[in-house]
Amino acid sequence: MADRFRITIAQVNPVVGDLRGNAAKARDAWAVGRSAGADLVALPEMFIAGYNAQDLVMKPAFHVAAQKTVEDLARDCADGPALAIGAPYAEGTQLFNAYHILKGGRIASTQLKHHLPNETVFDEVRVFDAGPLGGPYNVGNTRVGSPICEDAWHEDVAETLVETGAEFLLVPNGSPYYRGKFETRLNHMVARVIETDLPLIYLNMVGGQDDQVFDGGSFALNPGGRLAQLLPVFEEALAHVDLARGPQGWEIVDGAKAHHPDEWEQDYHVMVMAVRDYLAKTGFKRVLLGLSGGIDSALVAAIAVDALGAQNVRCVMLPSEYTSDESLEDATAVAEALGCRYDTVPIAQARVAVTETLAPLFADTEPDLAEENIQSRLRGLLLMALSNKFGEMLLTTGNKSEVAVGYATIYGDMAGGYNPIKDLYKTRVFETCRWRNEVHRNWMQGPAGAVIPDRVITKPPSAELREDQKDSDTLPDYPELDAILEILIDQDGSIADCVAAGFDVETAKRVEHLIYISEYKRFQSAPGARLTKHAFWLDRRYPIVNRWRDPG
């Protein structure tokens, strides 16, 4: 029996639906593995289709084409190591999340996912059928067990693989980021290693897909749970994992262990990668955004420049008569610090024209929110005109606090194609700006240093839709608001939980009411980078029509 085994793991970035492109990436990884003397080259879960492909995989024309792509790949990779790759697989009337082992020009073995996640962003029970508990597959004279992603979070799949002769575990994943996710993954995999007493290789994909970012961070564990190898986060990487057979069985040879940054850097990297990949995968090359002089648009501008380079970012100030000189100065300072294009498009004249047009219908009424929102909608109109004319995707700039309580104008400042800070509460916006001013990494295309002036961070937030307007006129102060939102949204808590945490019952009820009545806005809002398990979109799905309120 062989006493050495090499797996080349490919932590790479697929594109959903790009069967040909994903297969090309698989062939490239396989060629690297062949040159390195690998016995097996492994790609992540559902790699051929891309992940998370949602209902697309149920389309017969798509999963038939995916199957043919895998068969063609097998023929292309006949002369060399085995290739393991995830794909949808139809058998009769059933559709499975499968992991194919390609050897000798054919699909030699197929593993089927047994546990289908049906929580947060996953709807696999809707999309796939559950496969039976299965055994390992052979690569040479070595028996490999591959629990597919969620299967490794449960005891029974790994237990069955051990009982049927698996010598080590290779776990292919499409596991998207949320804050603290790596520690959760590691704890589950350590549990499987301790239960089975087998080495385990955890392979994750990397890259952005709609709201989700797959953060990589693949790793290898030896019996006892000892970390043998760790790949970087948010980077494509090919790594060779070597196993040596000793008296106690297989053990992974120690390899490189990448440094993983703290949660502030990881969150920021997610937002940057989300923008970069969303544009690259949808075909856009440039973005624009309304730069108001406030902190949210300043942070989005920094993220955009770090993702795309200053030459691909246009910032537009759209002042009205309520825009302060300070805001004009601050917006200019942000654009200059980042080095991106800065245009000014005044809206006062257009606002007067619209107001006069509506005057006969608005007669005998007092000016209120309707007049204020004309300004915001004019800005959305003008920004979308620029987007259409120059092919630049419009980024929206609403933070999670505003998105939660509807402190945004639908068809106004909510207009746009993507929102990088949609899952970032306002209090974290402040801290993220301070962090970015102090930290610069080689994956950031923007300049180092204080790109967001201190005055932008410290001044009272305002929408500037009327004289002397402040956010605090309408909302609780952001530390209080965010703490209540974290209870009601992130912890799925109650009014009683808010009161137990020391908040006024009426304030908590008011915030809850704002959350519910804003659902229709969120339903029509742009997607944004997911940072938590309770992001707005697939993680949290509430009815738009909803009269229930927690009585407290």
CATH class of 4-255: alpha beta
Give the pLDDT confidence score for residue 1 in this predicted structure.
56
> How many CB atoms are located within 10 Å of the residue 210 CB?
22
Average pLDDT of the residues in 9-31? 98
Confidence of residue 377 (pLDDT cuts 50, 70, 90): very high
Tokens 């929110």 sit on residue: 369
Give kind and range of the element (H or E) at residue 206: strand 206-209
Please state, in angstroms and rounded to a whole number, the distance separating the CA atoms of residues 446 and 457: 19
Is 464's pLDDT higher than 70?
no
Is 465's pLDDT higher than 70?
no
Query: How confident is the model over 92-131, as pLDDT tens digits?
Result: 999 999 999 999 999 999 999 999 999 889 999 999 999 9
Please spell the DSSP secondary structure of 242-261, one letter per residue.
EEEEETTEEEEPP--BPPPP
> CA dist 268 to 60, 155, 275, 287, 502, Å?
38, 34, 11, 18, 31
Is 467's pLDDT higher than 80?
no
Give the pLDDT confidence score for residue 247 in this predicted structure.
87
Give kind and range of the element (H or E) at residue 357: helix 348-362
Confidence of residue 322 (pLDDT cuts 50, 70, 90): confident
Is 256's pLDDT higher than 90?
yes
Is 192's pLDDT higher than 90?
yes
Confidence of residue 407 (pLDDT cuts 50, 70, 90): very high
Average pLDDT, the chain: 95
Please state, in angstroms and rounded to a whole number, the distance separating the CA atoms of residues 446 and 443: 9
Does this chain's domain 4-255 share its CATH topology with 264-467?
no
Strand order in the sheet with 82-91: 106-112, 94-103, 82-91, 40-42, 4-11, 237-246, 249-252
Average pLDDT of the residues in 465-492? 88
Query: How confident is the model over 345-372, as pLDDT tens digits?
Result: 999 999 999 999 999 999 999 999 898 8
CB 194 within 8 A of CB 162: no
Is 279's pLDDT higher than 90?
yes
- CATH architecture of the domain 264-467 equals 3-Layer(aba) Sandwich (3.40)
- The domain spans of the chain are 4-255, 264-467
Is 171's pLDDT higher than 70?
yes
Structure-derived torsion over alpha carbons of residues 8, 259, 439, 425, reported in degrees to the nearest 10: 90
Give the pLDDT confidence score for residue 248 in this predicted structure.
85
Task: Tell me what percent of the residues of the chain surpass a pLDDT of 70.
Answer: 99
What is the maximal distance between C-alpha atoms in the chain? Answer: 92
Give the pLDDT confidence score for residue 9 in this predicted structure.
98
CB 196 within 8 A of CB 162: yes
Confidence of residue 392 (pLDDT cuts 50, 70, 90): very high
Give the pLDDT confidence score for residue 462 in this predicted structure.
75
Is 482's pLDDT higher than 70?
yes
Residues with active-site annotation: 45, 113, 149
Give the pLDDT confidence score for residue 209 in this predicted structure.
97
Is 214's pLDDT higher than 80?
yes
> CA dist 171 to 33, 145, 313, 551, Å?
18, 8, 39, 46
Residues in the chain: 552
Is 165's pLDDT higher than 60?
yes
Closest by Cα among 408, 535, 542, 421 to 475 = 408
